[in-house]
Amino acid sequence: MSIEITMPQMGADMTEGILVRWVKSEGDQVSRGEIIAEIETDKATVELEAFEEGVLLRLVASEGETVPVGNVIAVLGSPGEAVVSPPERKEQAAAPGRGTAQGPVAAAAGAPVAAPARAPVADAGSGRLRISPVARRIASEAGIDASSLRGSGPDGRVLRRDVEAAIAGTLQVSNEPPAREGATARPGGVEPLSKMRQAIARRMSQSKQTQPHYYLTLDIDMTAALAFREQFNQAAGEAERVTINDLVVKACTLALQRHPKFNAEYSEEGLVFHGSVNIAIGIALDEGLIAPALLDCGAKTLGTIAREAKDLVARAREGRLRTDEYGSGTFTITNLGAYGVETLIGIINPPQAAILGVGSVMPQAVVRDGAIVARQVMKVALSADHRVTDGAEGARFIREIQGLLENPASLAL
């Protein structure tokens, strides 16, 4: 009869431990109370004793490995006993946030990970998150980290509506009218926040409060890109007619593939790299704003991007987005060129690492080879999470975008 030795919980807040060193080896006889391993927690390195006597049949965890509390690290049994079946590793307990720190994550980027086994617990105040059972369940089913939500209920309790607003805020369009009608913008009156307004308020505040932004702006000479676009559109069918924004999406996709840290996100455990480039596009609506994603842009041609972007915008306006298009973006482009805006410095759409703000293409006098000439210039601004990247990396990334747009032939590939 074999006994599984698991990663012990030493302290209420311990969720995982590092197996620093095995003191005993496979096949060693151990007696009760004997030290078999050293384990490092957040606070200290402690010695792990055997609770039963027996033979260490198998060391499951290797030295240096981080093991969630409760997962098997070794199997103890009688001499000669075989390990019937290697104990299966429990899935890594999903930490708040997404993915793990172990390098690139192959899963669809940003897709909700398995619901956390335990609802997240806020560490403020009493240490326990105030959340109603139904809110906890819905958040868990939707893969939302409830500890990041602000509760609107009594005593700040997170209620069902808060979770639903968060689901909407990843950013679902709800076509429903503001919570209470008849209170529209009268002087001195208070207009209740729509779900979308609440979601925007919360997410933008979260971004500015947790993601230290840095900003880089530069001019892109779009003269060649405009000519390329015209040529492309003459050949393309109606559905695949390319907009300036489509060119920016394609350029960003290529740049993100070459600079994957801008297609990643920050977590306490490390940078989480996304396996695909999902470009979220900011779309203004009467009720607010939504940023659904064009999924897996790396696998799409310019014509496909153009066609799908048109479809995405149309469906966003009709409130017919698919669930996998909400909240799955890995990078966002926000473009107010159509509004005649010169420079747009965006707020990062959390938990992404960066956002590109795009202004209008305007004819400007620029110096080329010592002469002043008129060129079609577009100002772009990169807002990036300084926890993920630094300014020089940002500069290389935004220059990559600039280069791609100024030499647009590669966009056709």
Partner 1 sequence: MAEMRMRDALREALREELRRDPTVFLMGEDIGAYGGSYSVTKGLLEEFGPERVRDTPIAESGIIGAGIGAALGGLRPMVELMTINFSLLALDQIVNTAAKLHYMTNGQMHVPMVIRMASGGGSQLAATHSHSLEGLYAHFPGLKVVCPSNPADAKGLLKRAFRDDNTVVFIEHTANYGFKGEVPDDPDFLVEFGQANVLREGSDVTIVGYSGSVHQAMRAAAMLEEQDEISAEVVDLRTLRPLDMDTVVRSVKKTNRAVIVEDAWKFGGFGGELSAQIMERAFDWLDAPVARVCSKDVPMPYNRDLEFAALPSEEDIVEAVLAMF
Annotated catalytic sites, by residue?
A: 386
Contact between 132 and partner 1 (CB under 8 A)?
Answer: yes
Residue 159 vs 199, nearer CB to partner 1: 159
Residues of this chain, 178-217, that bind partner 1 according to CB under 8 A: 180
Chosen residue from 58, 98, 136, 300 binding partner 1 by CB under 8 A = 136
Omega of the bond leading into 187 within 30 degrees of 0 (cis): no
Could you tell me the smallest distance in angstroms from the CB atom of residue 319 to partner 1? Answer: 21
Residue 137 vs 241, nearer CB to partner 1: 137
Chosen residue from 38, 100, 113, 157 binding partner 1 by CB under 8 A = 157
**Contact yes or no for 245/222 (Cβ under 8 A):** no
* Residues in Cβ contact with 130 at an 8 Å cutoff, skipping those fewer than 6 apart: 151, 153, 155, 156, 157, 158
Chosen residue from 130, 150, 160, 317 binding partner 1 by CB under 8 A = 160
Contact between 125 and partner 1 (CB under 8 A)?
Answer: no
Could you tell me the smallest distance in angstroms from the CB atom of residue 200 to partner 1? Answer: 22
Chosen residue from 135, 167, 171, 294 binding partner 1 by CB under 8 A = 135
Contact between 166 and partner 1 (CB under 8 A)?
Answer: no
Contact between 134 and partner 1 (CB under 8 A)?
Answer: yes
Taking CA 329 as the corner, what is the angle to CA 171 and CA 131, rounded to the nearest 5 degrees? 45
Nearest to 412 by CA among 268, 231, 280, 277: 231
Query: What Å distances lie between residue 58 and 55, 61, 119, 155, 407, CA to CA?
Result: 9, 9, 33, 50, 59
* Residues in Cβ contact with 31 at an 8 Å cutoff, skipping those fewer than 6 apart: 50, 53
DSSP run (H or E) holding 316: helix 302-318
Using the rule CB under 8 A, give the single segment among 133-141, 258-266, 344-352, 355-363 that binds partner 1: 133-141
Contact between 310 and partner 1 (CB under 8 A)?
Answer: no
Contact between 137 and partner 1 (CB under 8 A)?
Answer: yes
Could you tell me the smallest distance in angstroms from the CB atom of residue 33 to partner 1? Answer: 42
Could you tell me the smallest distance in angstroms from the CB atom of residue 7 to partner 1? Answer: 29
What's the Rg (C-alpha) of the chain? 26
**Contact yes or no for 263/331 (Cβ under 8 A):** yes
Could you tell me the smallest distance in angstroms from the CB atom of residue 115 to partner 1? Answer: 13
Residues of this chain, 43-102, that bind partner 1 according to CB under 8 A: none
Q: Which residues of 315-335 are buried (b: 16+ CB within 10 A; e: fewer)?
A: bbeeeebeeebbbbbbbbbbb
Could you tell me the smallest distance in angstroms from the CB atom of residue 151 to partner 1? Answer: 11
> Kind of pairing, strands 279-281 and 331-335?
parallel
Contact between 133 and partner 1 (CB under 8 A)?
Answer: yes
Taking CA 345 as the corner, what is the angle to CA 341 and CA 347, rounded to the nearest 5 degrees? 130
Which residues form the interface with partner 1 (CB under 8 A)?
Answer: 132-137, 153-154, 157, 159-160, 180
